[in-house]
Structure 1
Amino acid sequence: MSEAPHREVLVTGIGLVSSLGEGLDQHWSALTAEGGPRPVVDTERFAPYPVHPIVELDFNQQIPKRGDQRQMEPWQRIGTYAAGLALDNAGIKDMPAVLERTDMIVAAGGGERDVEVDSAVLTDLLSTNDAGRLLNERLSSDLRPTLFLAQLPNLLAGNISIVHKVTGSSRTFMGEEAAGIDAVRTAHARVASGQSEICLVGGSYNAERLDMLLLFELGRYLWRDDWLPVWDRLARGSGMITGSMGAFLVLESPGHAEARGATAVARLDAVVSDRCTRGPGAAADTARRQLEMMRSRLGAGRTAVFSGATGAEPATSEERSYLTDVLAGDGGMLVRAPASLIGHGLEAQFPALVSLAALTASRGKLYPATDSTGLETGSDESVDQILVNLWGHWRGEGMALVSRAG
């Protein structure tokens, strides 16, 4: 767990796509809709597992070449689209001199399984007495090298570079929620320390895929009922609802932003990350240490907490206790769990939470609560800072502090 030398880091661009919409205005409209925010949930396609599907996107708007679109899997298209939105929002989409100096850090998982091939192999294995020989034969004949290469996580960074001409340094992090946390932490540290003047950072996730739902179901992580907010699920069991999303931020030094006349959406004050054993109380102890590292950055204004709680146990119950015991007595911080509305997006979750925090800080008020358990309170409350707290469903703990710019 570490913190970079501090120089102010501005968020000058955000590209966010999820089940709630595309871009900042659509997300804010959905979050502050009359009667309170309402999730978009698909309960039919993957029953009994609900998912938050990606909003319908016209990929031509950010990926104009159909050939580029065809060679990308859905998670790559979502990420490349969100990255383009962030560059547009930052005002550098058509500035080659800036793009060639823009560093890029991406958090991504592997590509999708070929479900038809997997099903055929498993079916054949049921009718053979020599499973090893059959498996070797099918793997050598059915799996193509191009299929494997298309699944590499750094292909998302490559596609962003090709499509959007972002040609500074490039790094890719892989490893579920921790990858997203460390991607943002590294980008912040580079700008804060002077190693980078401008950086594009984020990730993407496609939740609408059978292979990942199978993986999480085998670990007993999924919710198998009608939609409920994260905290409400604890009374009826546990489980996460995954969500398709892409989230990218442009982080920039004040001097670089001023030189090109950019206006900041928000300020990213600090990011810390860690990985504990997840024994009883271990994640809460980690969060307490991370909060102490944030103390000097907490201002006099109202601070809210965006929890990355997934609904999966035992992490969600432990985090609820931590939020109640620690943060309730810390100036009465107001809590929100955005996963109730956009779902859980693994590598993309931390960039998405930071994006929503920056959006909220820029508007200066909190969106209405969604749960009925009493943890989330207040509506239309004024806020100056957002503390993002994410514990991965299995491993990885991170925290970020986002403030209103200026």
Structure 2
Amino acid sequence: MSQAKEVWITGIGIVSSLGEGLDAHWDALNAGRINVDETRFAPYIVHPLAPVSFDAQIPKKGDQRQMEAWQRIGVYAAGLALDSAGVKGNQEILSRMDMIVAAGGGERDIAVDLAILNAAAKGNLAPGFLNEKLMNDLRPTLFLAQLSNLLAGNIAIVHGVCGTSRTFMGEEAASIDAARIALARIASGQSDIALVGAGHNGERQDLLILYEFGDFNLKGKYAPLWSRDTSHGGFALGSAGAFLVLESREHAQARGAKPYAKLSRVVTDLAPRKQPGAVAKSLEAMWPKLGLSSDTGYLISGATGVEPVTSEEKAFLQKHPGYAVRSTGTIFGHTLETQFPLGLALAALSISRGALFPPNDPTGFEVEKAGAPNQIVVEGAGHWQGEGLALVEAVK
């Protein structure tokens, strides 16, 4: 059996509530900035997308118009990652670049939904009314909600990424599996280079309503993740896109590309959540599979704030006190499918900058840790289901 290929992270694209690009994010993280909006969707809290000129990565206005915000965010972040990797516009590479995208159900047309609901409430839902609305009021790319694979399709149209394409659905677990499968394909030699990531628009009334049905939303006043009421908890949705360019070491070296870091392992699980403590047990069972070299280090957590899963994640983390923890949920909000690739991106960025960004946690659970990290663990557990761990390492 041939030896697994080393997989490098050669491109990183991030757009979020903190801004766009690596320098803007690094500066914001080190300054401890957090961007939240407590009034626009009150009583719900969101981390809104920072001002972005989409023209920079999606130059055709027609392309922008046929996308809803979640697609524009994802396509924009994908373009940043391709620029970062130095492959933007390289048709030879893009024509064979694989793409693995994690996506939700797409955005609904709120105006059409409201028209139908109002008509029903007033008793005006005549025969054929619903079909008429669906045929005449929805754009062709909608079937009540936008197709999930439209993000990958628009990345192909706008940026020319035309290798194999896979779209995974399943909220947080979808992006963990996307990273796992991309890593496995490149490590085994089935692929040379891949674009992996997700985009999420947290400023959506339909999502806030959906998650309110499950009592998942943080309400009233923003609080850092580890400060939230453990008797209830909740997440503040965030808008963000995060994409990575992954490629084999040999492929990167052949084109003279420099790595930010390498992705060494991704392990996943699906704990039986009805059993108390199942999430902590799941994470603990996956921990040895990372092959860590030390009982001290750095860890980026995608904890959501939802209970009881967040308390179980914290219990797991407390069993590894040598690891300095950082929560993306405090800073970026919860970005569902984007949360895991965002954690991978921040880990690779931190390794490339020679430091972990400082804590942003008034409880003291997150601690300072000096030194240049050689390994960073990325941890994610879905608010409803799915867990995963990844190991990002410095390239030697």
TM-score band w.r.t. shorter chain: over 0.9
Residue equivalent to 1:59: 54
2:154 equivalent to 1:164: no
Paired with 2:163 and 2:312, the residues of 1 have a C-alpha distance of 41
Q: Per-residue deviation at 1:228?
A: 1.3
Paired with 2:227 and 2:60, the residues of 1 have a C-alpha distance of 44
8 Å contact from structure 2 (residues 87, 93) kept in 1? yes
CA separation of 1:143 and 1:163: change in aligned 2, threshold 3 A: closer
* Paired residues for 1:2-401 under 5 Å: 6-33=4-31, 37-128=32-123, 139=134, 142-143=137-138, 145-148=140-143, 151-234=146-229, 237-279=232-274, 280-294=276-290, 296=291, 298-300=292-294, 303-324=297-318, 326-328=319-321, 332-378=322-368, 380-401=370-391
Q: Per-residue deviation at 1:374?
A: 2.5
CA separation of 1:315 and 1:300: change in aligned 2, threshold 3 A: closer
Secondary structure, counterpart of 1:378 in structure 2: coil
CA separation of 1:132 and 1:311: change in aligned 2, threshold 3 A: farther
Secondary structure, counterpart of 1:55 in structure 2: coil
Secondary structure, counterpart of 1:172 in structure 2: strand
Moved over 4 A (4+): 129-145
Deviates more, 1:299-308 or 1:134-143: 134-143
Paired with 2:79 and 2:134, the residues of 1 have a C-alpha distance of 37
Cα RMSD (Å): 2.1
Paired with 2:100 and 2:278, the residues of 1 have a C-alpha distance of 29
Whichever residue aligns with residue 358 of structure 1, its letter is A
Paired with 2:323 and 2:227, the residues of 1 have a C-alpha distance of 20
8 Å contact from structure 1 (residues 234, 317) kept in 2? no
Unmatched segments (≥5 aa) in structure 1: none
Paired with 1:348 and 1:10, the residues of 2 have a C-alpha distance of 20
Whichever residue aligns with residue 320 of structure 2, its letter is L
Q: Per-residue deviation at 1:301?
A: 9.0
Unmatched segments (≥5 aa) in structure 2: none
Secondary structure, counterpart of 1:311 in structure 2: coil
Paired with 1:299 and 1:190, the residues of 2 have a C-alpha distance of 25
- Of all paired residues, the percent bearing the same amino acid is 55
Secondary structure, counterpart of 2:264 in structure 1: strand
Paired with 2:235 and 2:13, the residues of 1 have a C-alpha distance of 24
Secondary structure, counterpart of 2:52 in structure 1: coil
Paired with 1:130 and 1:28, the residues of 2 have a C-alpha distance of 53
**Structure 1 residues 148-190: Cα deviation after superposition (integer angstroms, max 9, x where no partner):** 2981111111111111111111111111111111111111111
8 Å contact from structure 1 (residues 269, 400) kept in 2? yes
Paired with 2:330 and 2:101, the residues of 1 have a C-alpha distance of 24
Paired with 1:274 and 1:132, the residues of 2 have a C-alpha distance of 47
**Structure 1 residues 15-63: Cα deviation after superposition (integer angstroms, max 9, x where no partner):** 0111111111111101112xxx120111121111111111111111111
Whichever residue aligns with residue 4 of structure 2, its letter is H
Paired with 1:122 and 1:150, the residues of 2 have a C-alpha distance of 16
TM-score normalized with structure 1 length: 0.92
CA separation of 1:302 and 1:285: change in aligned 2, threshold 3 A: closer
Paired with 1:150 and 1:239, the residues of 2 have a C-alpha distance of 25
CA separation of 1:98 and 1:43: change in aligned 2, threshold 3 A: same
Q: Per-residue deviation at 1:142?
A: 4.6
Paired with 1:26 and 1:110, the residues of 2 have a C-alpha distance of 30
Q: Per-residue deviation at 1:366?
A: 1.6
8 Å contact from structure 1 (residues 368, 380) kept in 2? no
**Structure 1 residues 327-351: Cα deviation after superposition (integer angstroms, max 9, x where no partner):** 12xxx11111111001111111111
8 Å contact from structure 1 (residues 104, 171) kept in 2? yes
Q: Per-residue deviation at 1:405?
A: 2.1
CA separation of 1:182 and 1:234: change in aligned 2, threshold 3 A: same
Whichever residue aligns with residue 299 of structure 2, its letter is V
8 Å contact from structure 2 (residues 8, 247) kept in 1? yes
Deviates more, 1:359-368 or 1:181-190: 359-368
Whichever residue aligns with residue 285 of structure 1, its letter is K
Paired with 2:199 and 2:188, the residues of 1 have a C-alpha distance of 26
Q: Per-residue deviation at 1:94?
A: 2.6
Aligned residues: 394
Secondary structure, counterpart of 1:248 in structure 2: strand
Paired with 1:368 and 1:156, the residues of 2 have a C-alpha distance of 33
Secondary structure, counterpart of 1:123 in structure 2: helix
Whichever residue aligns with residue 286 of structure 2, its letter is Q
Paired with 1:194 and 1:214, the residues of 2 have a C-alpha distance of 44
Paired with 1:47 and 1:385, the residues of 2 have a C-alpha distance of 40
8 Å contact from structure 2 (residues 280, 313) kept in 1? yes
Q: Per-residue deviation at 1:133?
A: 7.5
Secondary structure, counterpart of 2:262 in structure 1: strand
Q: Per-residue deviation at 1:234?
A: 2.7
TM-score normalized with structure 2 length: 0.94
